[in-house]
A and B are shown apart, each in its own frame.
Chain A
Amino acid sequence: MVAEIEPSNVESAFLLQALGKGIRVDGRGIHDYRRLRISCGPAAGMAEVHLGQTRVLARVSCEVTRPFPDRATEGIVQFSAELSSLAAPGLEGKTAQEVAIARMVERVIRQSRAVDTEALCILAGEKVWLVRLDLHFLDHDGNLMDAASIAAIAALKHFRRPDVTVDGENAIIHSVRERNPVPLSIHHTPICVSFGFFGGDLVVLDPSLLEEQTQQSSFTVTLNAHREICALNKAGGAPLSPKQIQRCIQIALVKVDEVNEKIQDALKASTA
């Protein structure tokens, strides 16, 4: 595996110098998100998220399968993430970051029970839907986590599975022409908001790639529209005070509302 290219001395020194004065190298404010664009479609369950230069494509598909024996009445939701050298030079093979993102998205969506898995059951113990979510990272300019979570939830909301009728022991799967496909039952929309810490009280929202490479630690808050915390993630780095965490959550609350609105707009635009 080729190691990711470290930022040069000029870049990291300037970044820290500018940040000390409250300036970010891309001209944003400390607590500004980059320009977020979400587009759903053309196919059902496809969502593309642009977060500045970062670009993530999520694709949801489904098939019928046999359930796990210990969860006979629950459908299955699977996640996979692919981070290749397409996104940035130097990325090759299974990177730790790829695994971390896939795991986080999985944790955020599955463990917070965002997707109603019982609604994916067709015949208990016999047939259930397997919903697969593939994340493709097309361009890496930092904060893949947030972009991935937004793309994932938008794609799941946009997805329509074929309708099914159950007649005793038989399940009939209707083609798209016969019956309108049905949306997944989604309880809530967890969204990640990431922060980068640069020591002291220096906190930035939505770190870019350069900021991610220079930061001392990162912190991801996952919230839904009901202002509930679904997950917190802090993998290593410098310690944070409870006060800082509180503050991050306050900021994230505002951002999550904005992101949710954008997802709604994108979904509306794709059906219009």
Chain B
Amino acid sequence: MADVKVVLPGDVVDTGAAAQEGAVLRLGPGLVQASERTSAAVAGVLHSDGDVWWVAGNRRRYVPAEGEPVVGVVVARHGEGYRVDIGSAHDALLPLLAFEGATKRNKPSLAVGTVVYGRVVVANSFMDPEIECYNSHTGKSEGYGELTGGFMFKCSLGLARRLIGSKAPVLAALGSDLPFEVAIGVNGRVWVSAEGPEKTVLVANAIRNSEYLDAKQCRQMVKELLDR
């Protein structure tokens, strides 16, 4: 890659010709608009795809953003919902009825310590974040909900984003050799489940080890772990 541009917080980002034509710019994570200018809010590599711009950095503390899938842990139950730790500065709220097919009479009851996979629906600087375990437009769970069995571990936010993005080589390499389930939260938490603890630990370790490896090294590393 010839033109990798690294930005630091406060750097003014030159969005080039796209802005001058009066076209709509879409700012992704890590970019903020201040009057006429666009500047970076985090350190990372600047990316763009058409009119979409974002900064891909690597951190370990999560800042919620709308629409992102997260893995959280229930820390308390209130009258109106659960309080869920998603690794952000403030706990997220998960309404009691934000599950597939939940009604006032029939809704899931989660114990403190339960792990859930949800999507952030409210994220702004003035309110506590809110998540839901279904798609409120379709009413379907779409894979979200309580996660049972398996194991959850933490990783850097950069790794989590790479895992969830385009085909992560480590997941492809693992998937070709053993069946497993995985739920990736962009808040740096990954839940995995495979047959038996040995396999689950293997999958978890492979994912953790893949942080600084390219596709070829990932395949090699997975092979070594499987052969052991």
Q: How far is the CA of A5 from the CA of B204 in the complex (A)?
A: 21
Of B131-139, B195-203, B212-220, the one contacting chain A is B195-203
* A25 close to B153 (CB less than 8 A): yes
Q: How far is the CA of A11 from the CA of B61 in the complex (A)?
A: 20
Known: A11-B152, A14-B150. 6 other contacts (CB 8 A): A8-B73, A10-B191, A11-B151, A14-B197, A23-B197, A89-B61
Cβ-closest chain A residue relative to B74? A8
Contact sample, A vs B, 17 pairs, CB 8 Å cutoff: A5-B73, A5-B85, A8-B113, A9-B113, A10-B148, A14-B150, A14-B151, A14-B197, A14-B200, A18-B197, A23-B197, A23-B198, A25-B151, A25-B153, A26-B201, A26-B205, A89-B61
Check if B87 is an interface residue, CB within 8 A of chain A. yes
Which of the residues A6, A14, A21, A24 comes within 8 Å of B113, measured between beta carbons?
A6
For A27, the chain B residues whose CB sits under 8 A away are 201-202, 205
Q: Helix, strand, loop or mixed for chain A's interface?
A: loop
Cβ-closest chain B residue relative to A24? B201
Cβ-closest chain A residue relative to B113? A9
List residues of chain B with CB under 8 Å of any chain A CB. Answer: 61, 73, 75, 85, 87, 111, 113-115, 147-153, 191, 197-198, 200-202, 204-205
Q: Helix, strand, loop or mixed for chain B's interface?
A: mixed
Q: Mark A1-37, 1 if CB is under 8 A from B, else 0.
A: 0000111111110100110010111110000000000
For B113, the chain A residues whose CB sits under 8 A away are 6-9, 12
For A11, the chain B residues whose CB sits under 8 A away are 151-153
Q: How far is the CA of A7 from the CA of B112 in the complex (A)?
A: 10
List residues of chain A with CB under 8 Å of any chain B CB. Answer: 5-12, 14, 17-18, 21, 23-27, 89
Q: What's the minimum C-beta distance from B191 to chain A, rounded to whole angstroms?
A: 7
Q: Tally inter-chain residue pairs, CB-CB below 8 A.
A: 55
* B87 close to A89 (CB less than 8 A): yes
Q: What's the minimum C-beta distance from B81 to chain A, rounded to whole angstroms?
A: 18
* B197 close to A8 (CB less than 8 A): no
* A8 close to B114 (CB less than 8 A): yes
Q: How far is the CA of A24 from the CA of B204 in the complex (A)?
A: 12
For A5, the chain B residues whose CB sits under 8 A away are 73, 75, 85
Q: How far is the CA of A21 from the CA of B148 in the complex (A)?
A: 20
* A18 close to B201 (CB less than 8 A): yes
Q: What's the minimum C-beta distance from A169 to chain B, rounded to whole angstroms?
A: 56
**Contact flag A10-B151 (CB < 8 Å), given A21-B197, A23-B198, A89-B61:** yes
For B114, the chain A residues whose CB sits under 8 A away are 8-10
For A14, the chain B residues whose CB sits under 8 A away are 149-151, 197, 200
Q: How far is the CA of A8 from the CA of B82 in the complex (A)?
A: 15
Q: How far is the CA of A11 from the CA of B151 in the complex (A)?
A: 6
For B200, the chain A residues whose CB sits under 8 A away are 14, 18
Q: How far is the CA of A89 from the CA of B87 in the complex (A)?
A: 8
* A10 close to B115 (CB less than 8 A): yes
* A10 close to B198 (CB less than 8 A): no
Cβ-closest chain A residue relative to B206? A27
For A89, the chain B residues whose CB sits under 8 A away are 61, 87
* B115 close to A9 (CB less than 8 A): yes
For A7, the chain B residues whose CB sits under 8 A away are 113
For A12, the chain B residues whose CB sits under 8 A away are 113
Which of the residues A6, A8, A17, A23 comes within 8 Å of B152, measured between beta carbons?
A8
* A8 close to B115 (CB less than 8 A): yes
Q: What's the minimum C-beta distance from B166 to chain A, rounded to whole angstroms?
A: 27
Q: How far is the CA of A9 from the CA of B149 in the complex (A)?
A: 9
Closest 4 CB pairs of A and B: A18-B197, A9-B113, A8-B73, A14-B151
* A17 close to B115 (CB less than 8 A): no
* A9 close to B153 (CB less than 8 A): no
Q: What's the minimum C-beta distance from B59 to chain A, rounded to whole angstroms?
A: 12
For B115, the chain A residues whose CB sits under 8 A away are 8-10
* B147 close to A10 (CB less than 8 A): yes
